[in-house]
Chains A and B, each alone.
Chain A
Amino acid sequence: KAGVTQTPRYLIKTRGQQVTLSCSPISGHRSVSWYQQTPGQGLQFLFEYFSETQRNKGNFPGRFSGRQFSNSRSEMNVSTLELGDSALYLCASSSGTSGINEQYFGPGTRLTVT
């Protein structure tokens, strides 16, 4: 079974631009969660999507948004990029059904904002 894939793996943008990151979950998984990882803040939860609906949200500004498609693939968008948005963005998939499900992480997208 293929793992979680994320594209692109690396991205360089300038301040003020916007960016869209993509995540393809493991086949059959309906939940996709997004995380931001930085050396100073560690791993921080952005949001979770399940069956095309945002089910949970972390404490990030509205510039961070996401969506999920009917095939469970998810995209994350960051508008008006700031230098502080430079980070590794990870997505994780799980079955998402009731109870606690093991999350499987992708390799991440390394975003650098200059």
Chain B
Amino acid sequence: GESVGLHLPTLSVQEGDNSIINCAYSNSASDYFIWYKQESGKGPQFIIDIRSNMDKRQGQRVTVLLNKTVKHLSLQIAATQPGDSAVYFCAELAARGYQKVTFGTGTKLQVIP
């Protein structure tokens, strides 16, 4: 069945370094992937998305890479800041046009000042 999972539950990064958060998915039919950031006591916040017909998309300090061959998704955060400390979720949209989103279990990013 469908599953979206993360390789590492916790990632510690020095402030100023780049962070890479990885995600594996199993549904090859998914055509849309999203990264969310969830800070303590808040709901998930959209960071960046990518469609399956792309392999890279860049935002402000963030880049998402999609490798459909190995069903792997990654989020790269440049010059990581203390404010980036949060739990990051990857998610896939399972049904085109609808909002049924399957989330991974999350990776906690800890930024060391």
Contact = CB atoms under 8 A, between A and B. Distances in A.
Contact of B99 (A43, A48, A90, A108): A48
Interface in A56-73: 56, 58
Contacts, number: 62
A4 interface: yes
B99 A101 contact: yes
Interface string A1-39: 000100000000000000000000000000101010000
Interface stretch (B19-27, B58-66, B89-97): B89-97
Interface residues of A, number: 27
Contacts of B43: 4, 90, 92, 105-108
Residues of A contacting B: mostly = strand
B97 A103 contact: no
Contacts of A102: 46, 49
Contact of A104 (B46, B96, B100, B106): B46
Contact of A98 (B95, B97, B101): B97
A31 B93 CA distance: 15
A33 B105 CA distance: 18
Nearest to B36: A105
A54 to B, nearest CB: 11
A103 B101 contact: yes
B46 A45 contact: no
A11 B89 CA distance: 26
B85 interface: no
B49 A45 contact: no
Interface of A: 4, 31, 33, 35, 42-45, 48, 55-56, 58, 90, 92, 94, 96, 98-108
Given A35-B103, A45-B100, 16 more contacts: A31-B99, A42-B103, A43-B44, A43-B106, A45-B102, A45-B103, A56-B95, A56-B98, A92-B44, A94-B99, A98-B97, A100-B32, A100-B49, A100-B93, A100-B96, A106-B43
Interface of B: 32, 36, 41-46, 49, 51, 89, 91, 93, 95-106
